[in-house]
Amino acid sequence: MKAEVVGFGSRAPEEVLAVLSKAVKDGCIATIKPVRSQSIGLALSRAPYRAFLSNGSIGGGESNLVIYHLPTSVTEYLAFGGSESSSVRSAILAGNGVVAAYDPKTSSFVGGSSDTVLAALGGACGAESDASAKGALASGALAALSKLDQETSAQLDPSSLAKRKDVVIVVGSGGREHALSVALARSPLIADVICCPGNGGTAVEGGKIRNAEGVNGKQDNATVIDLVKRVGAHMVVVGPEAPLVDGLVDELATQCPRVRAFGPTKAGAELEASKAFTKDFLQEHDIPTAKYRNFTDAAEAIAYVESLDKNDRQVVKASGLAAGKGVLLPTTKAETIEAVKEIMSDKAFGAAGDTCVIESFMTGPEASCLALCDGKTAVLMPAAQDHKRALDNDEGLNTGGMGAYAPAPCVTPDLQKEIEAMCIKTVQKMAERGTPYVGVLYAGMMLTPNGPSVLEFNCRFGDPETQVVLPLLETDLYEVFIACCDGNLDSVDVRFKENTSAATVVCAAKGYPEAYPKGMSIIGLPEANAISGVKVYHAGTKLDGNVSRCSGGRVLAVTGMGSDLKEALAASYKAVGKLDFVGDNDGSLMHNRTDIAKGAINKKLRLGVLGSTRGTALIPVIEACANGSLNAEIVAVVSNKSTAPVLEKGKALGVTVTTKFVSSKGLSREEFDAECTSVLVGAGVEYVLLVGYMRILSKPFCDFWAGRCINVHPSLLPKHAGGMDLAVHQAVIDAGEGESGCTIHEVTEAVDGGPIVVQKVVKVEQGETAESLKAKVQALEGPAFVEAIQKKGGKAVISYADAGVDIDAGNALVEMIKADCKSTRRAGCDADLGGFGGLFDLAAAGFDSANTVLIGATDGVGTKLRIAQTTKSHDSVGVDLVAMCVNDLIVAGGEPLFFLDYYATGNLAVEEAAAVVKGIAEGCRQAGCGLIGGETAEMPSMYAPGDYDLAGFSVGAVDRNAILPKDVGAGDVLLGLSSSGIHSNGFSLVRKLLEKEKLGYESKCPWDASASSVGASLLTPTKIYVKSCLPLLKAGLLNGLSHITGGGLLENLPRSLPKGVVAEITGHPALPPVFKWMQQASGLDDTEMLRTFNCGIGMVLIVKADKVDEAKTLLKEAGEDEVYDLGVLVSGEGEQVVMKAELV
């Protein structure tokens, strides 16, 4: 036996609740399933109804009762009526159950009353169903549906005189206005949405949406009123606050009285225009806000600050409009005084600071709460949370908002109701003072330890909150706005999508909120918008021909939708990955945060407690929540005993914890459990603990909380199930059992019969008493609860993170290094990250593929990394990595084309890895090759904490007729190019020498007085010779090259010499200081030095004697200040390198 309640949305009419409650109590129905009726459940569980429902949908067997909420408008009927009305008609025609239609316009059932519905069900369900009552309800429902069909047909018929073809003007040019326009355009009552002035996004949105013509980017009152008259607008929706404060709505009422204006009058907008006015208003009407004082004299304000206790932190605000920047957050008394001077004396915010508000600093989560207002009442939309700071981890400067998400998990149903009551009171009190408030009231709320408190009011939709709240709206926005303007918001059911979340990520110009570039082309818009569940809203954009360009700081808001917040965020960030802002130099100029909603995703598990006794087992849970070992928080404590000490434990946690005694007097078990459930649900409880709860739970309670409620039993279940307290322990002793303990189990209808979650064991000692055994077992109950909650919180499932691999850190690293990678773009590759492989187009790079040979090179940095890791200086080893590869490529005559890196570590430190990759990107820029990809491997079992290793892979190209070495022979001249230091070889010996000489990396450098330390000198990056040698290669001046790496000159130069040719070194330069120190510290002779280090020569060039002067000229033009005449090649056998000069 079941009932289905369909289409009630946020409404829960008393008449419907009364019918459902009585039908449950009389046994007519056992299960109530809501469909698009999110408010029914909580309302039904509360007094005086006290009945349960379960989740479900239409279908799944016949229902004894279907109560259908008639759509409040044609648009709602169009959106949902097709499937729902068909189901209702089918149920009526089947005749197996009772179908009743509820009409919100008359607040009654169509074709009868609540008594009619109960009579049709069969009275007390022992009586026979009243066929005439059932028929009257069915006839009424069918007639109502037929009327809706006729009205719908008229609206859908283009030729119908009844069809609405309204024109709406949206004032503004930001992402908020784009979102408003898109939401309004969904209404079948609207023919055109005209944006004044709009932006690049509204210009190309298409459909009903277009930008106003002839406004020249203006949105002043005169321009808007002229546009209203020109286009015959039916409504003006005002986005930004400035026109409202300037009295646009007042002027429209005078000059265009038949046109509706959604937004407050100038007097109403005072709630945002003057923070001083708002604070006085809130205080006058007992609406919670921070303690404050208003000042018009700087000296008085400073004197007030000086009178405060030094620990009494304050917030200092410019009272007037300051473009969202007039709030300062000093941390000390001195900073507070400076903030007052900045606002009042220095006029940092102009006239907005003529009046200054100083208020107490509040703590807690912030929430953006937008309420629709009609001058009489208000309806609160789902709360959102935004991110104001420019950088991840809420660092950097304040902005207009870098992202947002909704619904905000921190705003529970009870808090939502409490905040809505504050908004309603505000609207009512504004009306009483003769300034009715119509439009959106944006309440910035602080969820303090003492309850919600108003931070500020804004008189318009928030940005970017609008971009996450409006996509959740299920009701026709235009009809809501009409109801607000007409003062009958109660006539419209403002409802939002169930089980749906939205998240938006703002893409800003690099540098925002400080100086930032403009005019960049925006790429990837079609690809981003094509992702399922994604909408890209434009803010600071303009249309340049067919190209969308950046024209502001916050450029785009990328909104993703999903069944939960994780899914919504994934969609949003996937779309962000498709976008970029490209300037004249092809570099990326886009910035976005990578941690939007991170706190909400990792939110704490919300615990509710049912207890009848002291609640001793709750103490370890409270402690674990406090010390962070449990990612959970207790939000409600409920007891069936008014004097139960467990209630005091709840009160001690603070006023934000719901602590309540629920009397069972006169209530059935099901009714009592329903009322307890209403308290838990209202507090946002997700998981219930029974701690010393001395009641048997009803089946509806167990079904409702299935898998989400646990109990502790003082034995090792299934033994001694059903027993209580000392009787259980005595039974264990009497049975001669050697061990006992406690069991945490899920609660089901079978007493102590639910699945076991955790068991803790104690030994039963000789001579044990029931009392002594109880004390031992009881000590384990709290820890057992903690372990069970940890399992519920995700610890029972071992994730990659539990194994030591942080996927989010990897994603953050990719986002952090994207711009650096893009800065290495060159012809043939775009250096984008994110694909499975990097692409390179040889033809685009100017190579003839038929005659081109590809060259590959791979290398690492060696133990030089140990110095970087020890000194935490990671920004240069990436250059070393590139150098070791591309210098090898150039030796073969090739031009480096692209580079890939491999970064392996035990634990990914994002900032550290990003520094390394930035160095790699710098090396690629020096080498002129594209960084087209890489791999980051996090392997906790392979590397010690703080360790990482690098490998590089580079590919170059050379004409098959220009591969080196070629035509090398006696008489050729050897030229040497200097090294920058030790480069990347020989560091195992270097570290050994430092140890011998008792030098640390932080020690003063003995070979270079200008270096800050030994470590800094040793980390001098390897010199890259590509741009020096490439001009000579292209000029055909080189016959061979030798990169002097490990093995030194003696081992590397022979690799470029043919047999029968010997290199005579006659002009080796003097040893640089670092190598002189190494030789002295090591005692190595010249030969061993030349086999171990580069000794000051990093690259050897082999040229024909008649080309030497031309080669030197090109090298100097490329920046080589010193070119050494090393020696010549001669005919001979044996050792191929002969030193004719000593190292000095």
Q: What is the pLDDT of residues 311-358, one digit of tens each?
A: 899 999 999 988 777 889 899 999 999 999 999 999 999 999 999 999
pLDDT at 305 over 90: yes
Statement: the pTM of the whole predicted model exceeds 0.75:
no
Q: Quote the pLDDT of residue 11.
A: 85
pLDDT at 170 over 50: yes
| 452-485: pLDDT as tens digits | 999 999 999 999 999 999 999 989 999 999 999 9
Q: Which helix (H) or strand (E) holds 819?
A: helix 807-822
Please report which confidence band the pLDDT of residue 272 belongs to, taking 50, 70 and 90 as the band edges. Answer: very high
Mean pLDDT of 824-834: 64
| Residue type, position 518, single letter | K
How many angstroms separate the CA atoms of 87 and 469, rounded? 30
Q: Would you give the distance in Å from CA 612 to the centre of its chain?
A: 41
What tokens does 865 get? 């990394």
CA atoms within 13 A on the CB side of 1007: 21
| 604-635: pLDDT as tens digits | 899 999 999 999 999 999 999 988 889 899 99
| 271 in Cβ contact with 457 (< 8 Å) | yes
- Residues 827, 833, 835, CA angle at the centre, nearest 5°? 105
44-48, 182-186, 849-853, range with greatest mean pLDDT? 182-186
Residue with tokens 């009551």: 421
How many angstroms separate the CA atoms of 603 and 405, rounded? 14
What tokens does 792 get? 């519920």
Burial class (CB in 10 A: 0-12, 13-18, 19+), 1067: middle
Q: Quote the pLDDT of residue 4.
A: 85
pLDDT at 832 over 70: no
Q: Quote the pLDDT of residue 709.
A: 95
How many angstroms separate the CA atoms of 1064 and 971, rounded? 11
Residue with tokens 């470590």: 1015
| 390 in Cβ contact with 382 (< 8 Å) | no
| 823 in Cβ contact with 833 (< 8 Å) | no
Mean pLDDT of 194-217: 96
- Residues 1085, 1089, 1090, CA angle at the centre, nearest 5°? 120
Residue 1120: name the closest of 1021, 976, 1019 by CA.
976
Instruction: Look at the chain and count its residues.
Output: 1144
Task: With H, G, I as helix, E, B as strand and everything else as coil, classify residue 128.
Answer: coil
Ramachandran quadrant class, 216 (left: phi over 0; alpha: psi -120 to 50; beta: rest): left
| 353 in Cβ contact with 429 (< 8 Å) | no
| 999-1020: pLDDT as tens digits | 999 999 999 999 999 999 999 9
Burial class (CB in 10 A: 0-12, 13-18, 19+), 545: exposed
Mean pLDDT of 496-524: 94
How many angstroms separate the CA atoms of 88 and 99, rounded? 7
Q: What is the 3-state secondary structure (H, E, C) of 385-424?
A: EECCEEEHHHEEEECCCCEEEECCCCCCHHHHHHHHHHHH
Q: Quote the pLDDT of residue 816.
A: 66
pLDDT at 876 over 90: yes
171-175, 959-963, 1083-1087, range with greatest mean pLDDT? 171-175
Residue 491: name the closest of 201, 783, 971, 70 by CA.
70
22-31, 37-46, 548-557, 650-659, range with greatest mean pLDDT? 548-557
C-alpha separations of 469 from 447, 462, 554 in Å: 19, 10, 19
| Average pLDDT over all residues of the chain | 89
Secondary structure letter of residue 1021 according to DSSP: P
Mean pLDDT of 45-59: 65
Q: Quote the pLDDT of residue 160.
A: 59
pLDDT at 123 over 70: no
Mean pLDDT of 138-142: 88
- Residues 202, 208, 213, CA angle at the centre, nearest 5°? 55
Q: Quote the pLDDT of residue 162.
A: 59
* H helical segments located in 505-558: 525-529
Task: With H, G, I as helix, E, B as strand and everything else as coil, classify residue 962.
Answer: coil
Percent of the chain having pLDDT more than 70? 94
Minimum mean pLDDT among 84-88, 161-165, 558-562, 751-755: which range?
Answer: 161-165
β-pairing, 554-562 with 534-538? antiparallel
Minimum mean pLDDT among 53-62, 252-261, 287-296, 388-397: which range?
Answer: 53-62
How many angstroms separate the CA atoms of 810 and 813, rounded? 5
Q: Quote the pLDDT of residue 846.
A: 79
Residue 674: name the closest of 684, 689, 662 by CA.
662
Residue 287: name the closest of 484, 456, 433, 412 by CA.
456
What tokens does 671 get? 């009714």
Mean pLDDT of 1039-1063: 94
Q: Quote the pLDDT of residue 799.
A: 42
Please report which confidence band the pLDDT of residue 124 belongs to, taking 50, 70 and 90 as the band edges. Answer: very low
What tokens does 1092 get? 């171990």
Q: Quote the pLDDT of residue 386.
A: 94
| 978 in Cβ contact with 1025 (< 8 Å) | no
Q: Quote the pLDDT of residue 800.
A: 38
How many angstroms separate the CA atoms of 496 and 493, rounded? 10
| 971-990: pLDDT as tens digits | 999 999 999 999 998 888 99
| 961 in Cβ contact with 896 (< 8 Å) | no
Please report which confidence band the pLDDT of residue 801 belongs to, taking 50, 70 and 90 as the band edges. Answer: very low
What tokens does 916 get? 């390394």
Q: Quote the pLDDT of residue 804.
A: 44
pLDDT at 141 over 90: no
- Residues 31, 96, 137, CA angle at the centre, nearest 5°? 90
Higher pLDDT, 190 or 792: 190
How many angstroms separate the CA atoms of 491 and 869, rounded? 67
Mean pLDDT of 201-212: 96
Ramachandran quadrant class, 348 (left: phi over 0; alpha: psi -120 to 50; beta: rest): alpha
| 222-248: pLDDT as tens digits | 999 999 999 999 999 999 999 999 999
Q: What are phi and psi of 194, to 5 degrees?
A: -110, 125
What tokens does 1002 get? 């932080």
pLDDT at 42 over 90: no
Q: Which helix (H) or strand (E) holds 648?
A: helix 645-652
Q: Quote the pLDDT of residue 798.
A: 38
How many angstroms separate the CA atoms of 535 and 504, rounded? 9
